[in-house]
Structure 1
Amino acid sequence: MAKQLTSRLSKKESPHLKRFYYPLDTAVEKPFNWKQMLRLLGYIKPYRKTYLPGAMLVMLISTIIRLVVPILIGKVVIDVAIANRDVGLLTQLVIGISLLYLVSYLANMFRIKWVNILGQRVIYDLRKTLFSHVQRLSHNFFDKRSAGSILVRILNDVNSLQELFTNGIINLLMDLVMLVGIVVILFVLSPPLALAVLVILPIMFYISTKLRRNIRRAWQDVRIQKSRLNSHLNESMQGIRITQSFSQEQENTEFFDGVNTDNYETERNAMKKSAYFGPFVEMSNAIGTVILISYGANLIISEQIEIGTFVSFAFFLGMFWEPISRLGQIYNQLLVAMASSERIFEFLDEQPNVEEKKNALEYLDMKGNIVFDKVQFSYDEDRIALHEISLEMKQGETVALVGHTGSGKSTIANLISRFYDPTSGVVKIDGYDIRDMKLDSLRKNISVVLQDTFIFSGTIMENIRFGRPEASDEEVIEAAKVVGADEFISKLAKGYETEVEERGNILSAGERQLLSFARALLADPRILILDEATASIDTETEVKIQKALKTLLKGRTAIMIAHRLSTIREADNIIVLEHGRILEQGNHQQLMAKKGEYFDLVKSQFQMLDAL
């Protein structure tokens, strides 16, 4: 069904499908990576002196008791107490075995408690490490991946390791100890009978190894399909207004059905392959039981073993297949963990394109003098965004970047903030190559206000304070007053404590932009970048902001990117860009006098206004 739907949508050349079905997440055929598994288990290391020793101790106590009880029942209760009709000894044994089971119960209770605490702490540490690492990755990383696929790694892939850490590892050790103990005891009790009942093991081992590759690949496919499903869900929720505007709800639902079906089919396939192991163990158990009854009875009749030994064998044989069955489940957990850990470590091993040097310097008192020295930059090999740009932005100047879409305006702003590094050339601030400086030191001195501003869930006070968490309430309110945001905030029922919800949906576009102005200005930057920052603000509000900016930009270097040329008339220097090259620069009067590209841009905008 999914393939039919995919094929049908492909014929329609759905843009969603073209983008969505060629992700970076692909199944990779690799052998089981024990080095990677050891790396994963390394997250237990911080707890090797706390929860882990206690869990292993009570696990050993419980396992030893389980191994001792069948011997007591077979060799002592049956062959001694019952055979000799010793009621006193039988009573003591019943009480003793009952106490052993009580101790085993308490040991298991503490084991479950401690391994769950251990597992939850490891998952917490792993998710925290992954999130912190992703926060530090360069913009180039996010350019190539959807938000949904990143969320899958941090949420689903980390969650899939939970069962391994909370139960799998300790159960694996417990079952291995149990199996080794049972095999040793069986051979001590009766080597011929032990060989007979364990003859099925080599066949079982051979078949199980044949299943590994298919099962592991199946769980890889599950992770990939979950990533695709989450990516589509995230994209659909983010773009719901566009979907409804173009009445594409039905097609979006059909596409989701295809993705959801793919997810269902891959998970069903993985579960089906994983389920093969259980019935196979049951069949092995049945064969072993038949061998025990037929061959064991002959040994009893020929008086080669006693009845108590036969009973102990029956106990141990039942116990033997139980850990083997669990080992199959644990192996499935390992396969799931391997598929998830590959994807997690792929992110953790990702290095920022923008790297901070080990001996990086720190801006102690940034002035804001910016120099581009023959800077060239490409987002990819086929598209050069800047062609050996050389320019200077002096401390305290307001510099405007103008030009058509794709001329390189936002690229220059991105390079100043060092979201990307130049392909060649140097960007300097106060005479220092910004690649030699600490990233935090650089970015704390720069505030950016975008056209599509982002408002976080929380209160208005928290949003304004985002760039400077230590700011007082009075400083937050003062920043809001300066940019004219206090006027609408004061009218809200809870004022600055109003919850703005996800992406600030309760606010208008202009109100969100005013909050972003207040946020940027509260951070007290040396460099202020306004990237189409007044595009969503009405004319009346824009006038207020322009007045405020005259005071706020004093002593700061400001870079203004604007299509609305009326907002940059007062700029000290206007740089006109075209296809990544500087065509001309100067103030408004100088450029108008030249009657060049800037003159044509201004003229065309006024003609458009006149036409309206």
Structure 2
Amino acid sequence: ASIGRIVELLETEPAIRTAPPPAALDAGPLGVTFDGVTFCYDQDEIILDDVTFNLAPGQILGLLGRTGSGKTTITRLLFRLYDPTLGAIRLGGQDIRHATLDDLRNRVGIVTQNVQLFQASIRDNLTFFNPEIPDARILETLEMLELDSWLTRQSHGLDTRLMAGGQNLSAGEAQLLAFTRIFLKDPGLVILDEASSRLDPLTEQLIERAISRLLQDRTAIIVAHRLATVQRADRIVILQDGRIVEQGDRVALVANGESRFSQLLRAGMEQVLA
């Protein structure tokens, strides 16, 4: 019975496939377009409802909304863990269904609140077991993110083994290692699901500087929980129950006292979106 289940699994066709003709995504910062995107996990529950927005190459989008509003679903669709039920998603003007999954996932980098770490060396955790990334580049990136002193404290340098789930790391250290991964990948679009938990002030400063470096010359979508982070955004999208209830230029929305975004800031964004 077990062998039968294994054979059945191996014969299962993947739900996500590259649509012909395949085409490579552009180099450099990627523009993002959601064109009438609706998504349902099943026919009874609409998670995203006719979502449309545009983000120019190199711009930063602040994505806001309460838990369950659809923010995480947008990030999963961009990484093509699922395809839209209706509508299209384009990166650099190209429908992502025509990009190979390898190309797409090399050009899109995601930093989530929960960093997945393996029971493996620091090197393998940072490179996702890619032997083509030289140690010199890893060390240069760690130094840029001010993690070089942390590395010198590890007993075997890059060969030091981490525990599964990063059990031998602090939350801040795990986050900074996740940033290192993204720098090594050098994507054209960065998706940052900001950690909502508080860290110690020194680690907060390190992460703030890492975010600033990461967003240089890249398009970015930030699922923001804090005022300091959303102030980096060029554009704002506010979701509610799977629909966009407001979007626009951040500075213009701040200047409009009647805008939802302006009201969020006055009410204390971190408390309202908790």
TM-score by length of 2: 0.90
1:462 aligns with 2:124: yes
Deviations 1:521-558 (A, max 9, x none): 11111111111247464343233332333333222111
1:438 aligns with 2:100: yes
Query: After the TM superposition, which residues 469-488 of structure 1 pair with which residues of structure 2 at under 5 Å, given as runs?
Result: 469-488=131-150
* Aligned match of 2:203: 541
* Aligned match of 2:38: 376
SS at match of 1:400: strand
* Aligned match of 1:403: 65
* Aligned match of 2:263: 600
8 Å CA contact 1:484, 1:545 repeated in 2: no
SS at match of 1:444: helix
8 Å CA contact 1:510, 1:536 repeated in 2: no
8 Å CA contact 2:226, 2:270 repeated in 1: no
C-alpha RMSD over aligned residues: 2.3
Output the CA distance in 2 between the equivalents of 1:364 and 1:431. Answer: 9
Output the CA distance in 2 between the equivalents of 1:430 and 1:603. Answer: 35
SS at match of 1:566: helix
For structure 1, which runs of at least 5 residues remain unmatched after alignment?
A: 1-338
Q: CA deviation at 1:475?
A: 1.0
Output the CA distance in 1 between the equivalents of 2:149 and 2:262. Answer: 37
8 Å CA contact 2:23, 2:98 repeated in 1: yes
Output the CA distance in 2 between the equivalents of 1:500 and 1:471. Answer: 19
Query: After the TM superposition, which residues 152-191 of structure 1 pair with which residues of structure 2 at under 5 Å, given as runs?
Result: none
C-alpha change, 1:432 and 1:364, in structure 2 (3 Å) is closer
The one-letter amino acid of 1:515's match is: L
The one-letter amino acid of 2:3's match is: S
Output the CA distance in 2 between the equivalents of 1:467 and 1:574. Answer: 36
Deviations 1:252-290 (A, max 9, x none): xxxxxxxxxxxxxxxxxxxxxxxxxxxxxxxxxxxxxxx
The one-letter amino acid of 1:604's match is: A
Output the CA distance in 2 between the equivalents of 1:517 and 1:423. Answer: 32
C-alpha change, 1:345 and 1:497, in structure 2 (3 Å) is closer
SS at match of 1:361: coil
Of the two structures, which has the highest relative contact order with CA contacts closer than 8 Å and spacing of 6 or more? 2
C-alpha change, 1:340 and 1:574, in structure 2 (3 Å) is same
Among 33, 50, 53, the alignment partner of 1:391 is 53
- Percent of residue pairs bearing the same amino acid type: 38
Output the CA distance in 2 between the equivalents of 1:458 and 1:568. Answer: 35
The one-letter amino acid of 2:52's match is: S
Deviations 1:168-208 (A, max 9, x none): xxxxxxxxxxxxxxxxxxxxxxxxxxxxxxxxxxxxxxxxx
Output the CA distance in 1 between the equivalents of 2:20 and 2:270. Answer: 54
Output the CA distance in 2 between the equivalents of 1:385 and 1:594. Answer: 29
Aligned residues: 271
Output the CA distance in 2 between the equivalents of 1:608 and 1:428. Answer: 33
The one-letter amino acid of 2:225's match is: H
Deviations 1:288-314 (A, max 9, x none): xxxxxxxxxxxxxxxxxxxxxxxxxxx
Output the CA distance in 2 between the equivalents of 1:469 and 1:362. Answer: 23
* Aligned match of 1:177: none
Give the number of the structure whose residues are more often helix, by fraction.
Answer: 1
For structure 2, which runs of at least 5 residues remain unmatched after alignment?
A: none
SS at match of 1:586: strand
Output the CA distance in 2 between the equivalents of 1:344 and 1:478. Answer: 43
* Aligned match of 1:579: 241
TM-score by length of 1: 0.42
Output the CA distance in 1 between the equivalents of 2:129 and 2:263. Answer: 39
8 Å CA contact 2:122, 2:159 repeated in 1: yes
